Amino acid sequence: MFSYTLSKPAKVTGTLRSSTGRTAQVLQDRVPARAGTNSVTWSGRGRDGKALPRGAYVWEILAVETTGRAVRAMRALSLR
């Protein structure tokens, strides 16, 4: 499970990327989210439905407010 906090409501895209920047899985795609703490559950699988291999990944959140202002945050993670 991944958690993130928004100061204002926004549409959120959550993407898991490989260490080379390739998209491994899109967990949310422009999903409306409220201000406060939100979370998304991930199955551990990639876009092809197979379990992702061990290694380094980046969890990326892109939040876009109704005004069009966008904020991006990234966090490194390791699958073991």
pLDDT digits (tens, 9 = 90+) for 4-45: 999 999 999 999 999 999 999 999 999 999 999 999 999 999
The dotted CATH code for 2-79 is 2.60.40.4070
Stated pTM of the model: 0.89
CA–CA distance from 72 to each of 12, 45, 50, 69 (Å)?
10, 23, 27, 10
pLDDT in tens, 56-66: 999 999 999 99
How far apart are the C-alpha atoms of 20 and 63, rounded to whole Å? Answer: 22
